[in-house]
Chains A and B, each alone.
Chain A
Amino acid sequence: MAAVQDSAVAIGAGARGRPAAQGRFAALWTKHGAGYMFLLPWLVGFFGLTLGPAVASLYLSFTSFDLIRSPEWVGTANYVRIATADPKFAASLKVTFLYVVLSVPFKLAFALFVAILLDRGVKGLTVYRAIFYLPSLLGGSVAIAVLWRQLFAGDGLINSLLAQFGIEGPSWISHPDYSIWTLVVLSVWQFGSPMIIFLAGLRQIPTDMYEAASLDGASKFRQFYKITLPLLTPVIFFNAVVQTIEAFKAFTPAFIISGGTGGPINSTLFYTLYLYQEAFGNFRMGYASALAWILVLIIGLFTAFSFLTSRYWVHYDD
Chain B
Amino acid sequence: MTDATMSSITAPPPPPAGRRSPLGSVLIHTGLIAASIAMLYPLLWMLSASVRPEDEIFASTTLWPSSVDFASYVRGWFGLDVSFGRFTWNSLVIAVLTVAGNVIACSLAAYAFARLRFAGRNFWFAMMLGTMMIPYHVTLIPQYVLFLDLGWVNTILPLVVPKFLASDAFFIFLMVQFFRGIPRELDEAAMMDGCGPWRIYWKIMLPLSLPVLATAAIFSFIWTWDDFFGPLIYLNDMNTYTIQLGLRTFVDSSSTSDWGGLFAMSTLSLVPVFFFFLFFQRLLIEGIATTGMKR
Contacts and interface: CB of A to CB of B under 8 A. Distances in A.
A279 interface: yes
A310 interface: no
Given A164-B61, A292-B137, A42 B288 contact: no
Nearest to B287: A196
Given A49-B165, A54-B134, A196-B289, A125 B294 contact: no
Interface residues of A, number: 114
Contacts of B46: 143, 147
Interface of B: 9-10, 12-13, 15-16, 18, 20, 28-29, 31-32, 35-36, 39-40, 42-43, 45-46, 58, 61, 105-106, 108-109, 111-113, 116-119, 121, 124, 127-128, 131, 133-135, 137-146, 148, 162, 164-167, 172, 184, 188, 191-192, 194-198, 201, 222-223, 225-229, 232-233, 244, 247-248, 251-252, 259, 262-263, 265-267, 269-270, 273-274, 277, 281, 284-285, 288-290, 292-295
Contact of A57 (B141, B273, B285): B141
A316 interface: no
Interface string A219-251: 000000000000000000011001101101101
B295 A193 contact: yes
Main secondary structure of the interface of A (DSSP, over half): helix
Nearest to A127: B36
Contact of A140 (B226, B247, B251, B277): B226
Contacts of A136: 295
Nearest to B37: A131
B109 A42 contact: yes
Given A43-B124, A125-B12, A131-B40, 14 more contacts: A32-B118, A41-B164, A117-B31, A133-B285, A134-B277, A141-B273, A142-B248, A148-B42, A151-B45, A197-B289, A203-B13, A242-B294, A259-B252, A276-B229
A135 B37 CA distance: 12
B141 A285 contact: yes
A8 B192 contact: yes
A128 to B, nearest CB: 5
Contact of A45 (B13, B43, B166): B166
A142 B111 CA distance: 36
Interface stretch (A10-18, A81-89, A93-101, A168-176): A10-18
A301 interface: no
Nearest to A241: B292
Main secondary structure of the interface of B (DSSP, over half): helix
Contacts of A146: 247, 251, 262, 266
A229 to B, nearest CB: 19
A85 to B, nearest CB: 22
Interface string A185-216: 00001100100110110011001001000000
Nearest to B125: A39
A71 to B, nearest CB: 10
A194 B127 CA distance: 27
A31 B116 CA distance: 8
A62 interface: no
Interface stretch (A19-27, A72-80, A155-163): A155-163
